[in-house]
C-alpha cells in the first residue's frame, strides 16, 4: 500500500474535524456537515482559479474555517464591535487549529507558518496567494449563500454587503463572480451594487 503524503493526511484530519459540525448544509438534495461542505468548496474554487495552486494555499483553503461552529456569533455582543471581535478571534482560532493539525501530521514550521499567515490574511493586497484565497471565499459565498442572505436582509444593506465583497476581490475573482449562475434576485442586487459604487 502506498504511503499517504503529509498533504493527504492533513486533508483527512481537517475533513474529519469539519465533519463534526452539528450544523447541516443541504445541497442538491443531500445533507453535509456545513464546514465540511464549505471547506471543500474553498479548495474547489482555489483550484478553479489556479490549477497549479501551491500546497500551502490548498491547505489554507481547507483550514480557513476549520471548526468554526465552536465559536458561535451569538457568544459575542450583537453589535458591530462584537461582530468585528468575533471575526478577529475566529481568524486566530482557525490559524491555531490549522497549525495544530499540520504539526500533528508532520509538517515543519515553515509550512505551518505560511498556512497560518494565509489563514490570518496577512498582506492580502500584496500577497497573490492570500488574494486568491479571499477570492475563493467570496466566490463560495456568492455561489452558495448569497440567495439565503438576500432573503433575510434589507436591500440597502445587501447592496453594501455586495460592494464590500466586490472590494475584497481581484479582477480575476470579479470576472468569475459575473460568470456564476446567479438567481434573478442575486443578479439584480449585484447590478444595483455595482451601479451605485
pLDDT (tens digit, 9 = 90+) per residue, 167-188?
999 999 999 999 999 999 999 9
Look at residue 195 and tell me whether its pLDDT is greater than 70.
Answer: yes
Look at residue 38 and tell me whether its pLDDT is greater than 90.
Answer: yes
Where do the structural domains in the chain lie, given as residue ranges? 6-124, 145-197
Residue 108: CA atoms inside 13 Å, Cβ hemisphere, count? 1
Mean of per-residue pLDDT scores for the chain: 95
- Provide mean pLDDT across the span 141-163: 94
Look at residue 65 and tell me whether its pLDDT is greater than 70.
Answer: yes
Of the pLDDT bands very low, low, confident and very high (cuts 50, 70, 90), residue 86 is very high
Place of cell 459575473: 178
Residue 178: CA atoms inside 13 Å, Cβ hemisphere, count? 10
- Report how many helices (DSSP H) and strands (DSSP E) the chain contains, helices first: 10, 2
- Provide mean pLDDT across the span 96-121: 97
Of the pLDDT bands very low, low, confident and very high (cuts 50, 70, 90), residue 16 is very high
Q: Which grid coordinates belong to 59?
A: 491547505
* Residue 124 pLDDT: 79
Give every CB contact of residue 93 below 8 A, 6+ residues apart in sequence. Answer: 67, 70, 71
Separation of first and last alpha carbons in the chain: 56
pTM: 0.93
Other C-beta atoms closer than 10 Å to the C-beta of 28 total: 4
Place of cell 490548498: 58
Look at residue 2 and tell me whether its pLDDT is greater than 80.
Answer: no
* Residue 3 pLDDT: 56
Contact 162, 193 (CB under 8 A): yes
* Residue 196 pLDDT: 86
Amino acid at each position: 500500500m502506498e504511503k499517504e503524503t503529509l498533504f493527504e493526511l492533513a486533508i483527512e484530519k481537517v475533513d474529519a474535524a469539519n465533519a463534526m459540525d452539528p450544523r447541516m448544509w443541504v445541497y442538491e438534495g443531500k445533507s453535509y456537515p456545513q464546514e465540511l461542505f464549505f471547506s471543500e468548496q474553498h479548495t474547489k474554487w482555489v483550484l478553479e482559479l489556479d490549477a497549479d495552486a501551491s500546497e500551502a494555499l490548498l491547505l489554507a483553503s481547507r483550514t480557513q474555517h476549520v471548526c468554526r461552529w465552536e465559536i458561535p456569533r451569538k457568544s459575542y455582543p450583537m453589535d458591530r464591535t462584537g461582530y468585528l471581535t468575533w471575526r478577529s478571534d475566529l481568524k486566530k482560532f482557525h490559524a491555531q487549529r490549522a497549525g495544530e493539525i499540520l504539526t500533528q501530521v508532520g509538517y515543519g514550521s515553515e509550512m505551518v507558518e505560511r498556512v497560518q499567515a494565509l489563514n490570518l490574511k496577512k498582506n492580502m493586497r500584496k500577497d497573490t496567494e492570500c488574494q486568491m484565497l479571499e477570492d475563493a471565499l467570496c466566490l463560495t459565498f456568492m455561489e452558495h449563500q448569497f440567495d439565503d442572505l438576500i432573503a433575510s436582509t434589507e436591500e440597502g444593506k445587501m447592496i453594501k454587503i455586495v460592494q464590500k465583497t466586490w472590494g475584497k476581490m481581484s479582477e480575476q475573482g470579479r470576472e468569475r463572480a459575473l460568470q456564476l449562475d446567479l438567481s434573478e434576485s442575486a443578479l439584480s442586487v449585484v447590478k444595483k451594487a455595482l451601479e451605485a459604487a
